Every structure is written in structure tokens, then in C-alpha cells.
Amino acid sequence: MSTSTTVRAGAGTHRPPVLRGRAWVAPLCWFAVLLDGFDAVVLGAIMPMLTSDASMGIDNGTGTVIATAGLVGMMIGALGMGWLTDRFGRRKLLIGAVIVFSLLTFVTGFAQDATTIGVLRFLAGLGLGGCLPTGISMVTEFAGAKKGSNATTLMMTGYHVGAVITALLALWAAANTVSGWREMFFIGGLPALVLVPLMWRYLPESPDFLLSKGRTAEARLVADHYGVQIDEDPEQAFAGASPEQPEKTGAALLLSAKYRRNTVFMWLASFMGLLLVYGLNTWLPQIMRAADYDLGNSLGFLVVLNAGAVIGLIIAGKVGDAITPRNAAILWFIGSAILLAALAIKLPLLGIYVMIFITGCFVFSAQNLVYAFAATNYPPKVRGTALGMAAGVGRLGAISGPIMGGTMVAAGIAYPWGFFGFAIAGALGGLAVTGMRTMRRDQRKDAAPDPSVPVGAEERERISA
């Protein structure tokens, strides 16, 4: 049930916390990630139409360069946005990311040459790269550590719902519009006109972020209103090596003795996971056309791949909470490798649809379990940085995947060798995850906040005065 609380602006420098309906956080982040999924997949969905548009003069090689430009932007956005969210807040940065990529996606529909599309995709990538780590930080912190995997993977279903919608709209646009690809970019930019005002009004700031900045009274107020447990000594919630020096923050803390092993192996796993995600989403339609399937079926495979991802994420989140994100990620990466290799086997049309659906259940969930690991195995003060760097360093894999797929398509060997190459990446991802270590939480710290320090009337008044 929605509630509404009004907090008056104070004399301080901080905006008063948003205290409105408790049920808004997860849906708003989910829809932000849905738009992220639409924008990230749109280039792969419209690539056949773009390369067929004689007025643009874009071939598969140029398409690879455009895709790479967008992914470089995403890498920079993820690295920078993760750092910025740990300093300036999840709320403002998530709203800003949605505005940036939506506006630039819409403008791309007016492009008249490949260079313009490449530049706009790079700039849109800055926002796209920041959306995922920021959204994951938000939903994880409002869900609590014990439900971190499920919260992360459920939110990431939005990405793949967006991808499915993109592929379906591409089918419609190819048959019912003049160019097909321009209309897709226009469609991708419009939903922000509704989402951004809702986020501004209803999306609160993370209490973990407020606490990390010493804004304890605000953190308690937000936590009390939204039913979130906060830990006022979060460093002690993580097992492992001896405590680090308190001044260490950001990348320095991620690469300190306590977290270095996890950080390095997490980056490797994210590299392989995003290689699979972006390689397949960008080139699967063209790979299947190389296997003599028509355009309709080739786009249909992209729909089914991402539909499988939605189901896989729902299952993977529950498994991750039951056996830890690390152990679940090992299983999902190994499953991805086996299924991708099996796609090289010739099957009847129905059989290949079933195989691609099952492959989607594993491939995309593997990467998102890496995000779930990052969200639940680093303290709040560097959680955004950890997620941002996992996504940012992983974008090198996101760049490599389309390059690998595009090179094989251009060389005429994408089928079946493309699937074998992606299968090797899945196996290497699983190997990297085995090097990661779960930072087990002290159960004492997972207990409810001390009832002797409630968010009382005096504290509320001090914040709202």
C-alpha cells in the first residue's frame, strides 16, 4: 500500500529525502533497465536494415565500428558512473543516465551518415554504461543482502524484456515503416518522457549511501520509512583478511589485500560474460542468416534468446541466494559453454528455437550473477565503484564480442565457428568465477537495527525542520 510523507526543505545543503510510496523503488529501476536493454540491443536488431539502406553506405565492417564506439562509451560510462554514484548518490546519477541515453538515442534517428551514428552511439553509451551498476546498487540496498542475488537478477529481467521488445519492434518496423531503423531510434527515446518525472518524484536515495557519507539521521529516516535494515558499521559485515586502513576508498580498496583476489577474477568473469551478451545480441541475426535462415527467423531467434534470458534470470536469482552467487555463476557459465557449442549442430527449425531459448536461460544469467556477487560482497561505500568497474572492465569483453562476431561474419565463417568461439568464452568465464571467494557476512550484523536507537520524533523534526 502506498504512503506519502512530506519532508520540508531544511536550511542545510542537502535536498530533503524522498519519502513516498514504498513500492516504487524496484519498478522504477526495472523500467530504467528495460530502456537500457532496448537501447543496448537496438543496434543489433536494426543492423540488417541499416546495412540494407543504400543511402547510408554501411556494411558489416562499418557496423562493427559503430557497435564498438557505443561499447567504448558504455565502458567509460560504467567506470565513471560507478565512481560518481559512491560520491554523489545513486538517485541523481540514475536519473541523469536515463536522460542522457534516451535523448541521444532519439537524436540518432536523424543521422545521415555512419560517422554521426557512431558518435551518437558513443555518447549514448556514457549513459547506458552508468545505468546498470547504479540500478543494481539501488535494488540490492533496498532488498537487503540476503536477497541480493534475487533482487539483482529480477531487476535484470527488465534488460531482456527490453531486448525482446526491441526485436519484436524491429520485425514490425522492417515490414511497416520506410527505413525501419530510424523509427526504432525514435521509439527508444520517447519512454523517458514518462519515466524521468516519475523517478524524480518517487525514487529515494539509498540509505547505505547516506550512511557512507555520514548523513546518519537521513539514512535512518529513509530506512525506517522504506523498511530497510541498515548497518552502521558495514565494514565488519565482511569476513576475510585483516581490516584495511579506513582512508582507503574506491579502486584502492577494491585492489587492497582484502578484496584484490575477488576484484581481479570478477573482472575476468565480467569480461567473458559481456563478450557473450553483446556478441550474441549484436550478431546472432547475421550469424543465423549465414546459416541460411531468413530475416524473419533470424530476428525471431533474437527474441527467443532474450525471452529465455528472462526465465533464466528468475531461476538464477533464487539459486544464487540459495547457494551463493559465486557457485550459481559457475554452473551458469559451464551450462552456457555446453549449449553454445551445441548450437553448431544442425536441427529442425523448432529444435533450434528450443535450443536458443535454453541457451538464453544460461548465457545472460551468468553475467548477472557476477553483478549479484559484486552487489553482495563489497561494503556500501565502494559498492557502486565495484559494480561500475565490473561493468566497465567487462565492457572490454562487450567490445571484443561484436568484433569477434563481426570478423567471423565478414570472413564467412560465423556459422558454426562463431558458436564455438562463444562457447570457449563461456568456459573461461566459469574458470574465472572459481577463483572468486564469497565474503561471508557476520550474521550478527544482519540482525535488525538496535531498537534502542529508533528514528524518533525528535530526529524526524531535526531533518525536516
DSSP one-letter string for 31-69: HHHHHHHHHHHHHHHHHHHHHH-TTTT--HHHHHHHHHH
Which of 170-179, 265-274, 391-400 ranks highest by mean pLDDT?
265-274
Cα gap 83→184, rounded to integer Å: 32
Q: How far is CA 226 from the centre of its chain?
A: 24
CA distance readout (Å), 172 to 294, 297, 418 = 15, 13, 28
pLDDT tens digits, one per residue of 190-235: 998 999 999 999 888 888 788 877 788 888 888 888 877 766 555 5
Long-range CB contacts for residues 110-114, cutoff 8 Å, separation at least 24 = 110/182, 113/56, 113/57, 114/56, 114/57, 114/58, 114/62, 114/65, 114/66
Which one has a higher pLDDT value, 315 or 293? 315
pLDDT band at 273 (very low <50, low <70, confident <90, very high): very high
Instruction: Say how far apart CA 87 and CA 232 lie, in whole Å.
Output: 18
CA torsion 90-92-97-100 (nearest 10°) is -170
Q: Grid coordinates 558458436 are at which residue? A: 419
Is pLDDT above 80 for 298?
Answer: no
- Residue bearing the bigger pLDDT, 369 or 412: 369
3-state SS class at 20: coil
The whole-angstrom separation of Cα 229 and Cα 153 is: 21
The pLDDT of residue 82 is above 80 = no
* Alpha helices, DSSP H, located in 343-413: 349-376, 380-411
Question: Would you say the pTM of this structure is higher than 0.85?
Answer: no
Angstrom distances, CA of residue 164 to CA of 4, 259, 304, 398: 35, 36, 8, 19
The predicted-structure confidence for 370-401, as pLDDT tens digits, reads as follows 988 888 888 877 777 888 888 888 878 877 88
Residue 178 φ then ψ, to 5°: -70, -55
- The whole-angstrom separation of Cα 305 and Cα 280 is 9
Can you tell me the distance from the alpha carbon of 194 to that of 156, in angstroms, rounded to the nearest whole number?
20
* Residue carrying the nine cell digits 541498515: 230
Q: How far is CA 204 from CA 31, 82, 91, in A?
A: 15, 18, 7
With cut-offs at 50, 70 and 90, classify the pLDDT of residue 283: confident
